[in-house]
A and B are shown apart, each in its own frame.
Chain A
């Protein structure tokens, strides 16, 4: 009962924020509202017991993507232009689509219905076999990293490809030995001199954010978390440091070559676990052969591929942020 009331409240808030995003003409406001939208969405996920997704949504949706949007706004204009086509066609299209979706929800099973199709297919098998085959308390991690290891590999490569695409669009500058000249450095820090309190507090928080990221990384077998969340959290720590200390300092902390190497290294680590299990006589991404004991092999495989996922995600976020902040200086 309480869950339903809370969900209703959150969903209503979502609708209000969505309408506000549509109505505002100031893109800055729209970005902030979309951050709020993500935060409400994260709370909603949490109410629905999807803690892993909630963590990801909070970090990426509300945190990092807001910063990236702001970075994009700094390069473009602050106000919306009037749409090029009339308002009737889009209105008709979206209301028809919305009507179809609303109609479809009438057919959807009720929340928590045990006879729903998703609860009939492979989910019971996962729940039943996870303690025996993989033996980690968090079934989400077991499904994500082992049973569905191919899918996660695909996701990692999606992120990897997205990073390549963004870099191709933004035009990666060759890191020219990254010797930061004194003048540029001073200019960058001078701009931030007025913001002493955010700087001090932000710097105070960075180590704890990174520490929490590492906790989420290595605690992913036992609780909500894993490579995606941990990578985003670590990247958020680095991005916060860059925000309060200036992009130059941020690039000094994590150089661009390092974050790009991290992107490739993470995907490479994941794939090489699969190749290693092939070399040791199993199938691709079949971790059971990695150690003498199949269950122990699963643990090892999950640990390593989660590390790979974390590396790639953190690297992608930091690389994209650096690309934006470097362009913003010029």
Chain B
């Protein structure tokens, strides 16, 4: 039983660490603001949740899992909200998502996307300075910037 719990929690912890790592990788590699934020926010919430669950299993029948659950609830509410607020603020201050379809043209109804909206996102601490090459993993579902009426996918295919 102990072994089972340990294995389970190790799996959760490792997958959480993997999520967080992938998130950091995405922040470094993604081409522009919204995709970077997508990478950071999604994996952050998921990875933190997995890590917290893994720690909960280690806590046993004490007060610790309850406290961790409270932390999880808090993160689960605030982290997506923060990402939403960030995306909203970026959109309101005029950062355009880089929209291209497969032929490399801008989507109809959109302004021709600038190659790279080089706005420094104010709230991410240490960003990659170098402009990352345009190479998102193929088939990765790209996220709509939150609450946009038009369906835009920030997908870039070179």
Q: 0/1 per residue, A72-84, Cβ < 8 Å to B?
A: 0000000000000
- Tell me, in angstroms, the Cα distance from A202 to B84 when the chains sit together: 13
Contact (Cβ within 8 A) A194 B125: no
- In the bound complex, do residue B81 and residue A201 qualify as a contact, i.e. CB atoms below 8 Å apart? yes
Which residue of B74, B77, B92, B125 is within 8 Å of A17 (Cβ)? B125
Within 8 A of B (CB), among A248-286: none
Q: Are B125 and A33 in contact (CB under 8 A)?
A: yes
Q: How large is the interface on A (under 10, 10 to 19, 20 to 34, 35 or more residues)?
A: 10 to 19
A194 to B148 CA separation, bound complex (whole angstroms): 12
Q: How far is the CA of A201 from the CA of B78 in the complex (A)?
A: 7
Q: Please determine whether B84 and A197 come into contact, CB atoms closer than 8 angstroms.
A: yes
* Chain A CB within 8 A of B3 CB: no
Chain A residues whose C-beta falls within 8 Å of the C-beta of B77 in the assembled complex? 201, 204-205
**A195 to B88, Cβ gap below 8 A?**
yes
A201 to B125, CA, bound (A): 24
- Which residues from B are CB-within-8-Å of A194? 88, 92
What interface size band does chain B fall in? 10 to 19
**Bound: A28/B126 CA distance, A:** 15
Residues of A within 8 A of B85 (CB): 195, 197-198
Any A CB within 8 A of the CB of B122: yes
Residues in B27-62 with C-beta less than 8 Å from chain A? none
Q: How far apart are B37's CB and chain A's nearest CB, in angstroms?
A: 14
Are the C-beta atoms of A198 and B123 separated by less than 8 Å? Answer: no
> Complex formed: what's the CA distance from A205 to B73 in Å?
11
Q: Which residues of A contact B92 (CB under 8 A)?
A: 194
> Which A residues lie within 8 Å of B81 (CB)?
197-198, 201-202
B123 CB contacts on chain A under 8 angstroms:
32
B140 lies within 8 A of chain A by Cβ: no
How many Å from the CB of B75 to the closest CB on chain A? 12
Q: B residues within 8 A CB of A48?
A: none
A36 at the interface (CB under 8 A from B): yes
B2: which A residues are within 8 A, CB to CB? none
Are A198 and B122 CB-contacts (below 8 A) given A204-B77, A205-B77? no
**CB < 8 Å neighbour of B120 from A26, A198, A204:** A26
Q: Mark B104-133, 1 if CB is under 8 A from A, else 0.
A: 000000000000000010110110000000
> Once bound together, how far apart are the Cα atoms of A29 and B126, in whole Å?
11
Cβ of B125 and Cβ of A36 under 8 Å apart? yes
Q: Which B residues are in CB contact (< 8 Å) with A28? A: 122
Cα of A188 to Cα of B27 in the assembled complex, Å: 35
A16 at interface, CB cutoff 8 A:
yes
Residue ranges of A at the interface with B (Cβ–Cβ < 8 Å)? 16-17, 20, 26, 28-29, 32-33, 36, 194-195, 197-198, 201-202, 204-205
A197-B81, A197-B84, A205-B74 known, 20 other contacts, Cβ within 8 Å? A16-B126, A17-B125, A20-B125, A20-B126, A26-B120, A26-B122, A29-B122, A32-B123, A32-B125, A36-B125, A194-B92, A195-B85, A198-B81, A198-B84, A198-B85, A201-B78, A201-B81, A202-B81, A205-B77, A205-B78
Closest 4 CB pairs of A and B: A201-B81, A32-B123, A29-B122, A198-B85
A-B contact pairs, 21 of them (CB 8 A): A17-B125, A17-B126, A20-B125, A20-B126, A26-B122, A28-B122, A29-B120, A29-B122, A32-B122, A32-B123, A36-B125, A194-B88, A195-B88, A197-B84, A197-B85, A198-B81, A198-B85, A201-B78, A202-B81, A205-B74, A205-B78
